[in-house]
Structure 1
Amino acid sequence: MPQDLGAWAYLPAEGRPGTPGGPLSGLKFSAKDLFQVEGWPLTASTQAALPDLPPSPLVTRLLALGADLVGKTHLHEIALGISGANPITPGRNPLDPARMPGGSSSGAAITVATGEVDFALGTDTGGSIRVPAAWCGVVGFKPTKDHPAWPTEGVLPLSWTCDHAGPLTRDVKLAAHLHTALSGEAVPARSWSGLRVGLWRPATWLQPEALGALDELRTQAEQLGAQITEFELPDMLGAYSPIVQSEAAQVHARALTHSPTGFSAATEELLRLGASRPVEEVTAAREERQQYRQQLEALFGRFDVLLAPAVPGPAPLIGEGHLALPEGEIPLRVAVLRLTVPFSLLGAPTLVLPQRSGALSVGVQVVAPWQQDAALLGLGLTLEGEEGAGTT
């Protein structure tokens, strides 16, 4: 049964029906258990006490547009991780249950991959939509930071600097349809002909499956007429970690005063690390982030769109803590997040396209300049061979 994969945090006998006749009528969705839904529990897949939240306006809006909310999904505990682990019901990959689904939006990806819903609401702070999308073989869309169509109000924060809300879907066409319904922006398919495309190809960071998927998408873009030039990005984890961990510790400060706290040992350790980081260290990380923002702005002066790997390889087995990469054995968190963190730390809209690798899946990120979400989805539609979504 699909529930055996650890997807559902709350699955009522009857979900929350959408308004009949709306543009999203007939679609079913799940919401990551960070979204506050009026009358439903919120656990964030932890046993710790959580702050109070108002209802999510994004959930309310989707219901008003006609979509039916089926239930709420499990996640990596409080969204502070990328494997899908939590002390309640850890997730398992629908493509191979011995492997991790990715996180933190693990249950969201599982429910889309199993066909239990048409789309799922997730959140992405460092890769939490993009990693499980790639590993579970579904599409993930991380909008521009603070995009008005994808609000994070009514969502339990991890890091207000880096948090995004967005969907996981069965295909780009549905992601485009959702964005059109929520924003009113038409999403026509867009041509790649003549586009200046930057390719981030950190080969020593990638297993053969991920490198092959990236090169395959490069070839597809070139066949569509894109002009591709390689570029490099630095490892931004040194700026990301102090910011996110210190903000997460502030969000959960009350629970950290309890004994026991209710967090798993690994999560509590990260939160206490965040609480202990000196103000000067966090300030320096924010200054470094601003320098990275300028670097990305300069890249978007050279390129119209970027291509990058979404994950370093197929999903690891549950419990694995390191990945074997060309450069050596690398801690899993580092190996994964250094690929995805740049685009959530800096808030650029990013689309993950899954690429099958035998029975498993990897993925490629397509990244556009800020506020060019509709154009990004339009490029994705062309890669998928679709015509586009009209206005609402």
Structure 2
Amino acid sequence: MSADLNVFITKERIESHTDETTDRSGEDENPLAGMTVAVKDNISTKNIRTTCGSAMLESYVPPYDATVVRRLTDAGATIVGKANMDEFGMGGTTETSAFGPTENPRAPERVAGGSSGGSAAAVAAGEADLALGTDTGGSIRNPAAFCGVVGIKPTYGLVSRYGLIAYANSLEQIGPIASTVEECASLLDVIAGPDEHDATTHEEGANTDYAAAADGNVEGMTIGILSDLVEGADEQVVSVFEDAVADLEAQGAETVEVELDSIEHALAAYYVIAMSEASSNLARFDGVRYGTSGGYDGNWNETFAKAREDGFGEEVKRRILLGTYALSAGYHDKYYKKAQDARAWVKQDFDSALSRADVLASPTMPVLPPKIGESLDDPLQLYFIDANTVPVNLANLPAISVPAGEADGLPVGLQLIGPAFGEEQIIRAGSALA
């Protein structure tokens, strides 16, 4: 099925180097023994190419494994391939991949979401038991919602980013995708924890048993309904969302309505910050240090420009240009500094809301999965699709997308947001539905 859906860019196995054993306490030393995992193609795998969905890195083979890859194989998992993705993580449909779009297993004429579309589709199609994605502004939760699976965007710093080819360092996190909340939490247990190679990782949350939190007990839990994010969603999506919330209430949860004054500025702030960081991060892909080398004649400027012209797709070029403009002399304070101020406001708003509720809820995606080709010609539509997910990355909080139901036979996701290192709370609430 993967060949038809274009799930993998590279289909190559990385076998576990552990034996299926238990320690003296009877606990499994290899919690993922026998499990297969798809790994997004911006996560480094030693001696196996890692393309970021870009022609720029079509032949790049990393000399080392990312920390999360090593932790997977140490836990007994078998990696079955590198999953398709939007080029350098820039997109919400996996259509910007230089290797073609991934189709949605639930509706092949529609997108699988992005940028971790191949990862979510691999799980939904049964091509892998579990998957790793990355989430800069919704890139795990978006495809999880569109493909009808579960995806967790962890708190910034819970999971090592060592070996991740970054798009926007201050926003990005590696996270798990699975068919159920419990399986997703089990994968998080394996990859979470500090790493000496990544100074942004924290001790907090490292020794938590996330799988144990998936007990489905929401009795007495307060769920804040993010009214601003509900109102902007498609009517069919809202209907499914409201039914899922009613289900949680029937199981003993209480709900309160929450408004975030900063939300209307979050999307603009996110794209200024993300594109600015992309402009800086992708400067290394010049055809000399990294990337395609055309062997062009002429001076350095011509060679550099030609390598980037040939190596990058249209969406990546667009974001680099906008980010470079936002950081340029005379515009830094006008755009980038204001965006960072807005980011601080978003964080304060979330902290205030989470003082009134245990978790916050909204539809994951405001729309149903678009048909392939519908949104590529309209970049603004592509950006607005992230409206419900990007605020979480600005605030560096954890969030989970769980299947809420269907509309017109298409999956609809419910997003639950928790306080920093509050993964247990969102896992507990999410497991009441999936």
Normalised by the length of structure 1, the TM-score is 0.91
Q: Aligned in 2, Cα 1:109/1:231: closer, same or farther, shift over 3 Å? A: same
Q: What whole-Å deviation, never above 9, does each CA across 1:140-187 have from its counterpart, x for those lacking one? A: 11111110xx21110010111100110110111101222334444222
Q: Does 1:171 align with 2:161?
A: no
Does 1:69 pair with 2:79?
A: yes
Q: Percent identity?
A: 30
> What displacement does 1:203 show?
4.4
Name the residue aligned to 1:369: 419
Does the C-alpha gap of structure 1 residues 18 and 137 become closer, same or farther in structure 2, counting only changes over 3 Å?
Answer: farther
CA pair 43-303 structure 1, distance change in 2 beyond 3 A: same
1:15 corresponds in structure 2 to 14
* Number of the residue aligned with 1:211: 238
Give, in whole Å, the separation in 1 of the partners of 2:102 and 2:245. 32
Partner of 1:200: 226
2:162 maps to amino acid: E
Q: Assess if the C-alpha contact under 8 Å between 1:351 and 1:377 holds in 2.
A: yes
- Give the match for residue 26 of structure 2: none
State how far apart, in whole Å, the 2-side matches of 1:5 and 1:32 are: 15
Stretches of structure 2 lacking an aligned partner (at least 5 in a row): 21-29, 192-205, 287-303
- The match for 2:208 is 185
Match of 1:249 among 279, 286, 304: 279
Question: What is the RMSD of the two structures over their aligned residues, measured on CA atoms?
Answer: 2.1
In structure 2, the residue matched to 1:338 is 387
Which of 118, 139, 155 does residue 164 from structure 2 map onto? 155
Matches for 1:98-137 after TM superposition, within 5 Å:
98-137=109-148
Q: Is the 8 A contact 2:107 2:410 kept in 1?
A: yes
Cα distance per residue 1:107-150 (max 9 Å; x no partner)? 10111011011110000000100000000111111111110xx2
Residue matched to 1:259: 306
Q: Structure 1, unaligned stretches of length 5 or more?
A: 324-328, 385-392
Distance 1:213 1:56 in 2: 38
Corresponding residue SS for 2:208 = coil
Alignment correspondent of 2:341:
287
- SS state at 2:225 partner: strand
Match among 147, 151, 159 for residue 140 of structure 1: 151
2:259 is aligned to: 232
Change (3 A) 1:93 1:30: same
How many Å separate the matches in 1 of 2:222 and 2:62? Answer: 46
Deviation for aligned residue 1:330:
10
Answer yes or no: is 1:83 the counterpart of 2:93.
yes
2:224 partner amino acid: G
* In 1: Cα distance, 2:64 partner to 2:344 partner: 31
Tell me the CA shift for residue 286 of structure 1: 1.0
Greater mean alpha carbon deviation, residues 102-111 or residues 375-384: 375-384
Q: Which runs of 4+ in 1 moved over 3 A?
A: 49-54, 180-184, 201-204
Kept in 1, the 8 Å contact 2:272–2:326? The answer is yes
Instruction: Write the letter of the residue equivalent to 2:164.
Output: V
| Separation (CA, whole Å) in 2 of partners of 1:299 and 1:6 | 41
Q: C-alpha separation between the residues in 1 aligned to 2:155 and 2:132? A: 15
**1:205 Cα deviation after fit:** 1.6
Q: How many residues align?
A: 376
Which residue type is aligned with residue 242 of structure 1?
Answer: V
User: Quick check: 1:18–1:69 contact (8 Å CA) kept in 2?
Assistant: no
* Structure with max Cα Rg: 2
Q: Is the 8 A contact 1:53 1:154 kept in 2?
A: no
Whole-angstrom distance in 2 between the partners of 1:52 and 1:68: 19
The answer to which of 263-272 and 99-108 deviates more is 263-272
TM-score, scaled to structure 2: 0.82
